[in-house]
Structure 1
Amino acid sequence: MIRRARLLSVLAALVVGAMGVISSTQTWLVAVLDDGAGHELTVTGAAAVPVLTPLSLAVLALGGALSIVGVVLRYAFGVLTVAIAGLLAFLSAQIAFTTPVSAVASTVTSATGITGAEAVGALVASVTATPWPALTFALSILLLAAGFLILATARRWTRNGRRYESETATAAEAAPDAPAPRPFDAIDSWDDLSRGADPTADTTPGPR
């Protein structure tokens, strides 16, 4: 169960981070201008939520580091994951459910040169959201659940390095007089062949 919790937490962070980066390049909003011609402007996720890309990259980094850090950093990363997920959920929910004109202001200003909240608001006739903000909101909720799962189970995770060291120590205790194994390379194989020996043969001494 603990291994599954760690795996699910890491996978959730990696998936949400990757999808967040993808989402930042997709169209989130379509703004129709009240300029007589009804021009449409598309707004990407990065333009609607400028912090979407850096936060998604941070989540990717957290997911990659979660399985190798110690207990203290697991809790720190868990808190960061919850904080990032909450911020992403709040920002994406605003756009998905309220479609504010402020989310398209920078794109409208770049296209028309008009600045100021009132002037941009008067120029924009309508704003329509695509499914991407809602999808990002759902992914943020998944990340939030993963963050709480990290905080609930982090102390009981097993570090791969420590488990390997424990297994090595156990093997050494079981055979304290056994010589330390030496890396076997291509040169060893060539020397054995030149002497007429089979390099693949098991030379470990057995019971007589």
Structure 2
Amino acid sequence: MIHRARLLAVAGLLLCGAIGVISSTQTWLTVVLDDSAGRTLDVAGASAIPVLAPLSLAVLALGGALSIVGLVLRYLFGGLTVVIAALLGWLTAQVAFARPTSAVASTVTEATGITGESAVADLVASIDATPWPAATFAIWVALLTVGVFILATGHRWKSGSRRYRTEESVRAAGPTGSRPHDAIDSWDDLSRGEDPTARPLD
């Protein structure tokens, strides 16, 4: 289980972040205005929670970086994951269950030109939620679990840089290694910005 822990954590972060980004583009709330036309407005997740998309992208970035970082950054990323999950979970719960007028204010203002929380509240007849807020709230609960999992198991993950340390050790052996310096080694030297012609001939 432990040897797959890093893979599970990375996959969990990427999945939750991707769903969060997708959710930000979907309709979360439907607003009926108390005007003569009884207009209906759709409110996207990004409008209901302005930080939804940026923080979801941050989760994706954490998932990508978690696959290569060392022990200290694992704990840092795990802590950040818990904080982001808690914040997004709280904000999403407010929209999903309380449906505050503030979540639809920007959309109503854009459609009507009316500003001010009290004025917008007077104009709103009803606010209905789609399944997206509740589904996204479940995703943040899962993200919180991933963050706790990282903090609990991160110290037991195998180092992802072992292969690269081994390669560097072989390169550092230089001419005393088990084989002569060949064209592949010269290509590696060039990729690191070194001049292979400056190396003594074997």
Q: Which TM-score tier does this pair reach, normalised by the shorter chain? A: 0.7 to 0.9
CA shift, 1:182, in A, is 3.6
Q: Call closer, same or farther: CA 1:148–1:180 in 2, change over 3 Å.
A: farther
Question: Counterpart in 1 of 2:61?
Answer: 61
Amino acid at match of 2:106: S
State the alpha-carbon separation in 2 of the partners of residues 46 and 6 from structure 1. 30
State the alpha-carbon separation in 1 of the partners of residues 102 and 178 from structure 2. 72
Question: Counterpart in 1 of 2:131?
Answer: 131
Matched, 1:81 2:81: yes
TM-score with structure 2 setting the length: 0.83
Question: Counterpart in 2 of 1:205?
Answer: none
State the alpha-carbon separation in 2 of the partners of residues 183 and 42 from structure 1. 62
CA shift, 1:166, in A, is 4.8
CA shift, 1:169, in A, is 6.3
Pairing of 1:19-58 with structure 2 (within 5 A): 19-58=19-58
CA shift, 1:101, in A, is 1.3
Question: Counterpart in 2 of 1:107?
Answer: 107
Matched, 1:6 2:6: yes
Q: Deviations over 1:4-56 (max 9, x none)?
A: 22111110100111111111111010000000221001100110000001100
Structure number, greater radius of gyration: 1
Q: Call closer, same or farther: CA 1:177–1:109 in 2, change over 3 Å.
A: closer
Q: Is the 8 A contact 1:67 1:159 kept in 2?
A: no
Q: Call closer, same or farther: CA 1:177–1:40 in 2, change over 3 Å.
A: closer
Segments of 4+ in structure 1 off by > 2 A? 163-170, 180-184
Partner SS for 1:14: helix
What is the total number of aligned residue pairs between the two structures? 182
Pairing of 1:166-185 with structure 2 (within 5 A): 166=166, 178-180=178-180, 182=182
Amino acid at match of 1:115: T
Partner SS for 1:160: coil
Question: Counterpart in 2 of 1:95?
Answer: 95
Unaligned ranges ≥5, structure 1 = 171-175, 185-208
State the alpha-carbon separation in 2 of the partners of residues 32 and 80 from structure 1. 38
Question: Counterpart in 1 of 2:147?
Answer: 147
CA shift, 1:160, in A, is 2.3
Question: Counterpart in 1 of 2:162?
Answer: 162
State the alpha-carbon separation in 1 of the partners of residues 93 and 162 from structure 2. 42
State the alpha-carbon separation in 2 of the partners of residues 106 and 177 from structure 1. 67
Question: Counterpart in 1 of 2:120?
Answer: 120
Q: Deviations over 1:166-193 (max 9, x none)?
A: 59969xxxxx873257456xxxxxxxxx
Unaligned ranges ≥5, structure 2 = 171-175, 185-202
Question: Counterpart in 2 of 1:71?
Answer: 71
TM-score with structure 1 setting the length: 0.81
